[in-house]
Each structure stands twice: as C-alpha cells, then as structure tokens.
C-alpha cells in the first residue's frame, strides 16, 4: 500500500494534514528525558512515572508496528485572539477548548481511516490508534512525517496552515514509505518568547528553547491542582482555562485557515467572569459538558476565575469574590481572598 493512497484516505476522513513516519526508536527521547529530569514537567506525574520509558520506542504500544500515520485536524476559527481582547471583565478559554472534546472526534476519524485501509488491503494488518493520551512523542513523529517543524513556542508549525491543529496517530504494521521532515523556519523570530507573560519558554542550554511547565499559564490553569504560586498569579491575566498567547503572536498563524468544522465552533467564547463565578457545581458540569474545560475540575476552575477577577482590578467583582472567599474549598477561598486584596490595592 503506497504512501499517497494512505494520505488520500486520511484527507477523505477529514484530516487537513497527514504524513508517514518510520518507526524510529529513541527519536528525541534523550531530549525528553533531560527535560523531565530538570523538573520541567512540574507535577504532571504521567509524564515522568513508569510510562516515561514507554516513549523510547513506539513498539512498546504496538510490537509489530513498522509505520506511523500522523494526522492533524485544524480547529482555528475567525474569533479574536487574546492580544485583541480588551474587556477585562471577560474570562479567556483556550481556543482548543471552545467546542467539543477533540479526543472522540479524532479517534472516530482514525477509525474511518482503518476501515478504508482494511477494505483496500489484500492482507490483514495490526494497528493502534493514539489520540493525545498515549505515551508517544507525537510532535517528534509528526515532524518526521512532514507535518511541520517544532517552533520556539514548542508547538508544531505547518508552513501553510500554522499551528492551530490537533495531532493523532495510527501505528500500523503496514510498511509505508516515510515522508521527510521540513526545515525549521522560525529563523531569528522570538515573538512567542517575548510575549509569554510568565516567561515559560526558556533556553535549554543547547541553543534551543523549551517549555518549563512550572511557569506555563496552561499548566497553572489546567494541570496544577492546589494553589497557584502567588508570584505567578498576575501573569495569568484573564485566563481561566489554558493559554494561546505564544500561538496568537506567531507570524505563521497570520494566514492560518479559520474554517474549522462545526464541532470546534465555540460553545463558550470569552464568557463573563461574573457568570463563571456564580456557577454551581452542577452548573459547571452542564455548561462545559463534552468540552475539555471539565479537566480543570469545578474548584480548580473557580480558583482560576478568582485569580482572573483579581487581575481585572474591577470593583464590581468585590461581591462575587467575597462570596468565593467563603467557599468551603480552602484553595478557592484563599485565591478569592488574594483577589480581593488586588482590588483593595487598586488606586
């Protein structure tokens, strides 16, 4: 089965990007291990526990694997970017989380690819579908498959389509001709590094930049449980779930396609902070059911909303923050108390 046919099938299944990578053990694994050893994964134990070594070789997921079909699905829309928002009474939710959860949608597309290939193949083949959660260095294999280069913001960037796309993989025992990795086209640009409010993009000591999750707004608002370090709260601005700043300022995204499929259209675009602060636990679940936002958890989300209200310095948030300061969850209460102090210190 040839490479061109497989990529054509991927496009028929709805993926704008598709390419093939060979099963190459140790691809970028030493860089990953060094990153983890430096503590830059923060408290994300799933990146550093026993599953870390599984990323050494994709055959730990499928022993008969010979090729990886890497696919990308665009999720950009025409809505404003963070650097175009001026109303600090609104909360910012990362663009990828505006619509439906991408995991089942990406898996469904890959299942359609498998069905097509099984129909066209004269021999049975093994396969494994991976969508984000598998212990696989997917950006590295996507780069090897020609989908883009890994930019200074650590996102995969496609020259013509930018970086607003989800990644997923199909490991298969089919022997497919691999594509070639594109050259790095970041040049001397440092806009993502300069724009990051918490300076999370740091030199790695080898002339490149890497992400220190312990300084990242997305880590603070999604992955971190418990208290957000006080010295970093102001840098969160109005972000209540995730962050897009390093992609918003990227020149390669200026012409990015904004015609994403309906499933990724926003259910919640920049919702008012006052409405978010008033959500009950049931209201949170009902409002964000089926979207990635539920990953933050109800109390984690309220914690983020409190910080955003404090950063807004809007006196009108005094009443909702006082209510949150009496919340039974001590983390929510502590962050609301901090936010109230920010309002009180406003000239």
Domain for residue 248, yes or no?
A: yes
**3 state DSSP class of 99:** coil
Residues constituting the chain: 347
H or E stretch at 232: helix 230-233
| pTM to 2 decimal places | 0.94
**Does the residue 84 lie in any domain?**
no
Which pairs from 324-331 meet CB under 8 Å and 24+ separation?
324/277, 327/299, 327/302, 329/299, 329/302, 331/226, 331/227, 331/299, 331/303
51-59 mean pLDDT: 95
Active site residues: 132
* 53 and 164 co-located in one domain: yes
Please give the pLDDT value at position 134: 93
- Answer yes or no: do 133 and 219 share one domain: no
Kindly report, residue by residue over 308-339, the tens digit of the pLDDT: 999 999 999 999 999 999 999 999 999 999 99
Q: Which residues contact 339 (CB under 8 A, 6 or more apart)?
A: 306, 307, 309, 310, 311, 317, 321, 324
Q: Could you tell me if residue 90 is inside a domain?
A: no
CB 28 within 8 A of CB 102: no
When pLDDT is averaged across residues 34-56 and rounded to a whole number, the result is 95
Q: Chain-wide mean pLDDT for the chain?
A: 95
Q: Dump pLDDT digits (tens) for 194-210.
A: 999 999 999 987 778 99
199 within some domain? yes
Q: Do 113 and 151 lie in a common domain?
A: yes
Does residue 208 sit in the same domain as residue 62? no
Pair (137, 268) in one structural domain: no
Same domain, 155 and 230: no
Last residue of a domain, one of 145, 172, 199: 172
Q: Do 164 and 244 fall into the same domain?
A: no
Q: Which residue has the tokens 């996102």?
A: 155
> Looking at the DSSP assignment, which residues form a beta bridge with residue 86?
none
Residues 167 and 210 reside in one and the same domain = no
pLDDT digits (tens, 9 = 90+) for 148-192: 999 999 999 999 999 999 999 999 999 999 999 999 999 999 999
Let me know whether 103 and 13 are in one domain: yes
Report if residue 247 sits inside a domain.
yes
**pLDDT tens per residue across span 258-291:** 887 889 988 878 999 999 999 999 999 999 999 9
Span 35-39, average pLDDT: 96
Domain count, the chain: 2
Of 137, 172, 207, the residue that ends a domain is 172
Structural domain including 49 reads 3-77+96-172
In this structure, is residue 134 part of a structural domain? yes
| Boundary of a domain, candidates 172, 206, 226 | 172
């Amino acid at each position: 089965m040839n490479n061109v046919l497989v990529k054509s099938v991927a496009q028929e299944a709805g993926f704008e990007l598709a390419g093939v990578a060979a099963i190459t053990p140790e691809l970028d694994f030493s860089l990953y291990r060094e990153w983890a050893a430096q503590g830059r994964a923060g408290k994300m134990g799933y990146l550093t526990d026993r599953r870390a070594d599984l990323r050494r070789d994709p055959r730990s997921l499928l022993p008969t694997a010979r090729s990886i079909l890497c696919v990308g699905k665009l999720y950009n829309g025409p809505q404003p970017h963070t650097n175009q928002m001026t109303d600090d009474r609104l909360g910012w939710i990362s663009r990828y989380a505006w619509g439906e959860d991408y995991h089942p949608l990406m898996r469904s597309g890959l299942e359609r690819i498998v069905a097509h290939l099984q129909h066209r193949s004269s021999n049975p083949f093994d396969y494994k579908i991976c969508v984000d959660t598998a212990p696989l260095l997917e950006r590295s294999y996507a780069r090897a498959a020609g989908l883009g280069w890994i930019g200074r913001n650590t996102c995969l960037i496609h020259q013509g389509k930018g970086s607003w796309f989800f990644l997923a993989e199909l490991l298969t025992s089919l022997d497919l001709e691999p594509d070639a990795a594109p050259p790095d086209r970041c040049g001397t640009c440092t806009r993502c590094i300069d724009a990051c409010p918490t300076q999370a993009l740091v030199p790695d000591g080898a002339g490149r930049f890497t992400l220190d999750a312990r300084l990242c707004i997305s880590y603070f608002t999604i992955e971190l449980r418990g208290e957000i370090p006080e010295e970093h709260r102001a840098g969160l601005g109005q972000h209540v779930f995730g962050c897009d700043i390093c992609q918003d300022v990227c020149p390669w995204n200026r012409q990015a396609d904004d015609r994403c499929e309906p499933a990724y259209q926003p259910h919640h675009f920049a919702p008012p902070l006052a409405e978010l602060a008033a959500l009950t636990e049931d209201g949170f679940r009902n409002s964000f059911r089926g979207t990635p936002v539920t990953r933050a958890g109800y109390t984690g989300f309220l914690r983020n909303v409190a910080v955003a209200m404090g950063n807004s310095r809007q006196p009108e948030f005094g009443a909702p923050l006082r209510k949150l300061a009496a919340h039974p969850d001590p983390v929510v209460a502590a962050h609301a108390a901090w936010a109230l102090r920010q309002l009180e210190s406003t000239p």
